[in-house]
Structures are given as structure tokens and as C-alpha cells.
Amino acid sequence: MTQLKKSDDFQNNEKNDFEFPDDNNKSFIAKTFSFLLELIKTVIISLAIILPIRYFIIQPFYVKGASMEPNFHDKDYLIINEFAYRFNEPERGDIVIFKNPRNPKEFFIKRIIGLPIEKIKIYDNKVYLYNSEYPEGNIIEELYLPEGRDTRGNEIIELKGNEYYVLGDNRDHSLDSRTFGPIAKDSIIGKVWVRGWPLDKFTIFEEEKYNL
């Protein structure tokens, strides 16, 4: 009888020993499934937040070429605020990304110099501004340009209600409004907000100050 009980105990123990790892497996599978479910939910929520920001608010761009030197260089990595002009108007000094008026598949980076309903005159290597505040004209002093950098050209242009006059900071090596004329507001992709690369030149860009 004792041996039979021991045998029964052994069988019971054997049964328990067999079921115990099975319970562990079920628990492991349940925990893994729960973890994966939470991970999927987190990814979906993150994408729901990130994608609208990525495609409708900010967008990365690489600078190509030397037209904005010395303030921007080839392969600088920039973050563009595409939401900047939804409720506000572009301002003088803003650095913007816009579609090439001659080829909308290409994008340019330039600085806004002239605003709607203003007159811009380039003469004697200087930029003159005419508007309601300066009907007789005033030279625009651009402190972000290297000393002695001239603006070559000889033209007078009156801007319409939705037009902006843009120039590259590297005035002698820039394809800008002196060549293709003013740009329309709806061609502007966004305002340069941050330079993220190179790291030693990380910059959050602020409003430029003028003598106006």
C-alpha cells in the first residue's frame, strides 16, 4: 500500500512536473503577446504624432551649393518650419526654401529682402528700399553679410501684393530674384528654423534686425 501510494505520489508529481513548464509557457506567451500589443500601440500612436509633424509642420533639407555662404554651406542639414506662414506673413530677413520659378521640381534657399507693395532698387552695389515709410528710399544695411560684400546689379522692381524679392547671401554666386524675378508666396515651402548639422554649427535662427 505504501509503495502504491508512493507510486501514486510519483505519478502525481510527474504530472505536476509536466504541467508546470506548460503553465510557464502559457504565461510567457501571454506576456510576450501583451508586450508586442503594447509595442504596436506605441508605434501607431508615435506615427500618428510624428507623421503629421514630419509632413505638414517640419521638413529636413540639405543645402546644395555656395549661394548662401558664409552663413550656410554645402551639405548643411536644415529643419524647415512649413507651418510658419500659415497664419503669419514672411518677414524681411527670413531665410526660406521655395520652388525654383523656372523648375518647380527644384528648391532654392534664399533670404527675403523685399516685401509686397515695396520697391527694390539695386544700384551702385547697394540695395535700396522704397515703401510708405521710406518714399525717398533707404539703403538696407545687411549685418549678416561680410564687410565689403557688394550686391551687383542695376534694376528697379515693384513688388505686387503676393510677391517677395529674394537674394542669396553670396551675392556674386547666387541665382536669385536678380535673375528670375520676385517669387510668389505660394511657392514658399517654409522658413529655415534650425541648422542641425554640422553639430559645431548648430543654430536656431532668429529674426534679423535691420536699420529700418
The pLDDT, as a whole number, for residue 58 is 61
157-166: average pLDDT: 96
pLDDT averaged over every residue in the chain:
82
Cis peptide before 21 (omega within 30 of 0): no
Q: What's the predicted TM-score (pTM) here?
A: 0.72
The secondary structure element, H or E, covering residue 44 is helix 2-52
Q: Which of 99, 110, 132, 187 is catalytic?
A: 110
The pLDDT, as a whole number, for residue 5 is 45
Looking at the predicted structure, is the pLDDT value of residue 16 above 50?
no
Cis peptide before 70 (omega within 30 of 0): yes
Looking at the predicted structure, is the pLDDT value of residue 6 above 70?
no
Q: Which of 15, 27, 34, 67 is catalytic?
A: 67
**Does the active-site annotation cover 46?**
no
The pLDDT, as a whole number, for residue 18 is 40
**Does the active-site annotation cover 132?**
no
Instruction: Quote the CA–CA distance of 13 and 143 in Å, as a whole number.
Output: 87
157-171: average pLDDT: 96
Looking at the predicted structure, is the pLDDT value of residue 52 above 60?
no
Per-residue pLDDT tens for 70-118?
A: 999 999 999 889 888 988 999 999 999 999 999 988 999 999 999 999 9
Top-confidence residue, 36 or 91: 91
Looking at the predicted structure, is the pLDDT value of residue 4 above 50?
no
**Which DSSP letter does residue 73 get?**
-
The secondary structure element, H or E, covering residue 118 is none
Lookup: cell for 85: 506662414
The pLDDT, as a whole number, for residue 44 is 61
**Which DSSP letter does residue 167 get?**
E
Looking at the predicted structure, is the pLDDT value of residue 9 above 70?
no
Looking at the predicted structure, is the pLDDT value of residue 152 above 80?
yes
Looking at the predicted structure, is the pLDDT value of residue 204 above 70?
yes
15-20: average pLDDT: 41
- Quickly state the pLDDT bin for 211 (edges 50, 70, 90): confident
